[in-house]
Each structure stands twice: as C-alpha cells, then as structure tokens.
Amino acid sequence: MYYWRQQDFEGLKAISEYYASRPGYELFSEYCQLKERGLKKPALAKLRAFVAQVQQRPIAEQREISQELLELVYRHRDVYSIQSFPLAMMQQQVMEQWRDEQPDNIIPWRWLALARNDFDCYDKVLELDPNDQIAIGAMAYRCIHIVDFHCHHLGEGVFLGELPASRRILDEARGFIAKLTNSEQQQRYRQDVDELARMLDCWEEYAAITAADKPDFADWCEAKGDAFNFWSTVYYAK
C-alpha cells in the first residue's frame, strides 16, 4: 500500500517496466524498481552503476540519454523519485558541455534550465525561440509561485510583498499564459492567477479598514463571500 506517495510509486513501477526492455537502460529500470519498493540504498547503487555506464559511452549517446531522461522528468513531474543526485549531476555536466560547444543550440539550454531550475537559462531559451512551450510554462509558473509566496501568510493577516509589484508579476504571468498552447495548462494557470488577483484585491480593501475592532482577514473574506484556501502554518516551540 502506497498511501500519500501513491502517484510516485505507481509512476516508478510503470517507468521501470517500460525501460526494462530498452537496451542500455536496464540498470535505470532496476533503479526505478528498487526505488518503488522503498529499497533506497540498493536503488542508489544501481543508479550510480547506470551513471558510470552512461559516462563510458560516446558523448553523442550521453547527450541522447540525458535528454531523454530529462524529458521523462518533465512529462512525469508527479514522479519525483525519478531524479536523484548522481543522475542529476551527470545530466547537468552533459548539458553544460553541450551548451558550451553549441551556444546557439536551444536543446542544451532548455534541458539545463530544467535540470537546474535555472531561469537565466529559460531566458536564453526564449531568446532563441520565443515560443518554446517548456520555457513559457516555467516562466508562468515562476511568476505564480512568487506571488503565492507573497500571499502565503495572508491567513494570519500578513502580506509579504508589495501590492504594485505583486500585480506586475501577475501581469507578467498573464503574458506568458497567453502564449501557452496546452489549453489544460493554460486554464489551470489562469485559475491560479485569478485566485491570487482576487486575494490581492481583498487584501487592499481590508488594509484600508481603520476600525480597531476589524475581524481577522480570513474571517472578513469569508463574511463577504470571498473564502480562500489559505495556507496552514504550524509553529513549533523550541
């Protein structure tokens, strides 16, 4: 029984089964199988053996394998156990070398951006191709995440940003979202932006209230019909 990590474990099982029949990926398949069973140390040993095996191959094959497995990470973001440190380090080294040799090639820039979560690299990707969907989606998500961070203590009546700046960032997000071609991703991100924009509007209205006995922000929002799913914060005494 997988409990809260069910998607991760089920994904690992499916990936293991797929790569079991792919020549050259047998050790990676075994890594996924062991990881799915919760056997961390033997899984890591298999992954290290796979990385060592890949590093002995010609550079063109190293690039092909690194690209394929980074694409796998991108397509299966709910299966976060695919990516472990030895594999991630190898992929970054391969992509960095490829980028240095071919600085106008978008492929190493794109996958290096994903491997390092590097938004300077995503900027370069968009410079090379303004319609690159992976980079556009990443930049939209980044904008949403920044404003979400600004708002994540609003349930306690604390705003961590500046309203004009937060609104500008949401406008940036809207610009990126408009360029997305995946309608499901576009709709999901628009809903996130709309929710955050409503939250900012409510906070601005609430902050202008001068009454000494004004209610908590969360209660005030609920009373006016604008209930939000605020983050829950747990503080531990030392």
Of the candidates 219, 233, 234, 123, the one whose C-alpha atom is nearest the C-alpha of residue 112 is 123
The pTM (predicted TM-score) of the whole model is: 0.89
Of the candidates 220, 207, 193, 119, the one whose C-alpha atom is nearest the C-alpha of residue 162 is 207
Computed over every residue of the chain, the mean pLDDT equals: 93
* Confidence (pLDDT) at 238: 56
| C-beta neighbour count of 89 within 10 angstroms | 12
Under the banding of pLDDT at 50, 70 and 90, the label for residue 186 is very high
Query: DSSP assignment, residue 22?
Result: S
**Three-class HEC string of 156-192:** HCCCCCCHHHHHHHHHHHHHHHHCCCCHHHHHHHHHH
Determine contact, residues 7/79, Cβ cutoff 8 Å: yes
d(CA 34, CA 5): 15
* Confidence (pLDDT) at 230: 83
| pLDDT tens digits, 12-61 | 999 999 999 999 999 999 999 999 999 999 999 999 999 999 999 999 99
* Confidence (pLDDT) at 156: 92
* Confidence (pLDDT) at 33: 96
For Cα atoms 130, 134, 168, give the angle at the middle one, nearest 5 degrees.
65
The dihedral through the CA atoms of 117, 190, 201, 216 has a sign that is: negative
* Confidence (pLDDT) at 5: 64
* Confidence (pLDDT) at 72: 96
| Average pLDDT of the residues in 165-172 | 98
Residue ranges in 76-182 assigned as alpha helix (H): 85-101, 106-116, 119-128, 133-151, 163-178
pLDDT at 136 over 70: yes
